[in-house]
Copies of this chain bind each other. A is one copy, B any other.
Amino acid sequence: MSVLDAASSALPITIADVEAAAARLSGMAVRTPLLSTPALDARTGARVFVKAECLQRTGSFKFRGAYNRIAMIPEDVRARGVVACSSGNHAQGVAEAARLFAVPATIVMPNDAPAIKRARTERSGATVVPYDRVTEDRLAIATDIAERTGATFIHPYDDPGVMAGQGTIGLEIADDLARMGVIADRVIVPVSGGGLIAGVSIALSDRMPGIIAQPAEPEAFDDLTRSLQAGSRVANAQKSGSIADALLADMPGENTFLIHRQLLSPGYAVPDPALLRAMGFVMNEFKLVGEPGGVIGIAALLEGMLAAKGETVVVVLSGGNADPATIKAALDSAAPVA
């Protein structure tokens, strides 16, 4: 066994797990399109493809991981339901996936979460259990619910089934590029806990060996890039304060980082104003609503943070759950013609 094989065998998921997830998600997840526009190519000097995962069920990629994970639970256990902690995209993904399996979902959500996020989770039939961010521990509450009810806890990123589900995005990207006869040099992925980039890099390193995979993170929340540079997981000093509300996990996951450290290169730390400009660009040029964290890879490109000239670059647009006020601010930030 070579050194590489030995290292690979230690990873929490393999390409076979992602392929199995793709089979489970077939016909259930939206097969989102890979889009391009001459306006972005002209701005960057690169050939850029955008994976429009904001068009996924519930408006973000999170549905994939949640559905795959829930599908993997033995049927008798699954009937007892699922539980998750999230105020955002993971909550909606888990709630909707549970609805499709007709099993109960309980979402532990801070009591100061925006009403719209709670409403969107509840309309999928989930029960929301509010907690106090200051005085209560959400993980303890979720664990207690799981123990009392027999529900299965669905981690937002550090679970192999979740990672494999997100990895199906990488398989679709590879299939679409292969159909066009295109090989990508680089893929840029929004990162919080790192489940999405873990799955995508497993898929693309198999289908397009040699591709450079990099995280895009909010400025002051670039724990993954700094962890990659340090060789071990480091946390962010700052705990809040970016408009990219979906990308504020404290540090890479224990399991996800096993993949990150082997397959990723350091990436980009993008300031908030660039996220608004990118949202405006995405609305004007792609006719897509992206959320601040969702467009972060496109922002890195638009701001010239990488020398992509002459390259073929894939960017994952991971979600579109932006509120109206943020969308308006984005429209005011962007030039109407690129």
Q: Which residues of B contact A39 (CB under 8 A)?
A: 123
A331 touching B327 by the CB < 8 A rule? yes
Per-residue CB contact flags for chain A residues 284-298 toward chain B (1 = under 8 Å, else 0) read 001111100000000
Per-residue CB contact flags for chain A residues 324-338 toward chain B (1 = under 8 Å, else 0) read 100110011000110
Question: A33: CB under 8 A from chain B?
Answer: yes
Q: Which one of B37, B55, B123, B289 contacts A35 once the chains associate, using CB atoms below 8 Å?
A: B55
Q: Which residues of B contact A32 (CB under 8 A)?
A: 33
B27 touching A55 by the CB < 8 A rule? no
Question: A16: CB under 8 A from chain B?
Answer: no
With A287-B55, A320-B287, A337-B120 already in contact, the answer to whether A31 and B33 are too (CB < 8 A) is: yes
B337 touching A331 by the CB < 8 A rule? no
Per-residue CB contact flags for chain A residues 74-111 toward chain B (1 = under 8 Å, else 0) read 00000000000000000000001000000000000000
CB distance from A330 to the nearest CB of B (A): 9
Q: Which residues of B contact A324 (CB under 8 A)?
A: 331-332, 336
Q: Which residue of B lies closest to A37 (CB)?
A: B57
A interface with B by C-beta (< 8 Å):
27, 30-33, 35, 37-39, 52, 54-55, 57, 59, 96, 116, 119-120, 123-124, 180, 283, 286-290, 320-321, 323-324, 327-328, 331-332, 336-337
Q: Which residue of B lies closest to A119 (CB)?
A: B337
Distance of A203 Cα from B320 Cα, bound (Å): 33
Q: Which one of B27, B120, B180, B287 contacts A59 once the chains associate, using CB atoms below 8 Å?
A: B287
A337 touching B116 by the CB < 8 A rule? yes
CB distance from A55 to the nearest CB of B (A): 6
B336 touching A116 by the CB < 8 A rule? yes
Distance of A25 Cα from B123 Cα, bound (Å): 40
Distance of A33 Cα from B321 Cα, bound (Å): 19
Q: Which residues of B contact A180 (CB under 8 A)?
A: 27
Q: Which residues of B contact A327 (CB under 8 A)?
A: 283, 327, 331
Q: Which residue of B lies closest to A118 (CB)?
A: B337
Q: Which residues of B contact A55 (CB under 8 A)?
A: 33, 35, 52, 286-288
What are 16 inter-chain pairs, A to B, with CB distance below 8 A? A30-B33, A33-B55, A37-B57, A38-B96, A38-B124, A39-B123, A55-B287, A59-B287, A116-B337, A120-B337, A287-B289, A288-B288, A288-B289, A289-B289, A324-B331, A324-B332
Q: Which residues of B contact A33 (CB under 8 A)?
A: 30-33, 55
Distance of A328 Cα from B328 Cα, bound (Å): 6
Q: Which residues of B contact A328 (CB under 8 A)?
A: 328, 331
Q: Which residues of B contact A289 (CB under 8 A)?
A: 283, 287-289
CB distance from A216 to the nearest CB of B (A): 19
Distance of A283 Cα from B337 Cα, bound (Å): 20
Distance of A120 Cα from B285 Cα, bound (Å): 10
Q: Which residue of B lies closest to A117 (CB)?
A: B337
Q: Which residues of B contact A336 (CB under 8 A)?
A: 116, 119, 323-324
A54 touching B287 by the CB < 8 A rule? yes
Q: Which residue of B lies closest to A285 (CB)?
A: B59
Q: Which residue of B lies closest to A338 (CB)?
A: B123
CB distance from A296 to the nearest CB of B (A): 16
Distance of A120 Cα from B320 Cα, bound (Å): 25
